[in-house]
Amino acid sequence: MSEDCLFCSIVSGDIPATIVHETDEVLAFRDLNPQAPTHVLVIPKAHYANAAELAEAEPSSAASLLTAAKEVAVLEGIAKSGYRLVFNTGKDGQQTVFHVHCHVLGGRAMVWPPG
Ligand code: 5GP
Ligand code: ZN
What is the model's pLDDT at position 2? 81
Is 101 known to be catalytic?
Answer: yes
Q: Is residue 111 in some structural domain?
A: no
Radius of gyration of the chain, Cα coordinates, nearest whole angstrom: 13
User: 3-class DSSP state for residue 82?
Assistant: coil
Number of domains, the chain: 1
Tell me the best of 21, 88, 96, 102 to mutate to test the pocket of ligand 1, counting ligand atoms within 8 Å of each CB and taking the most: 96
Q: Is residue 112 in some structural domain?
A: no
Q: What pTM did the predictor assign?
A: 0.98
Tell me the best of 97, 98, 99, 100 to mutate to test the pocket of ligand 1, counting ligand atoms within 8 Å of each CB and taking the most: 97
Q: What is the mean pLDDT of each run of 10 residues along the chain (115 residues)?
A: 92 98 98 98 98 98 98 98 98 98 98 93
- End-to-end C-alpha distance for the chain, whole angstroms: 32
The enclosing domain of 57 has a CATH number of 3.30.428.10
Q: Is residue 55 in some structural domain?
A: yes
Q: Is residue 87 in some structural domain?
A: yes
Q: Is residue 74 in some structural domain?
A: yes
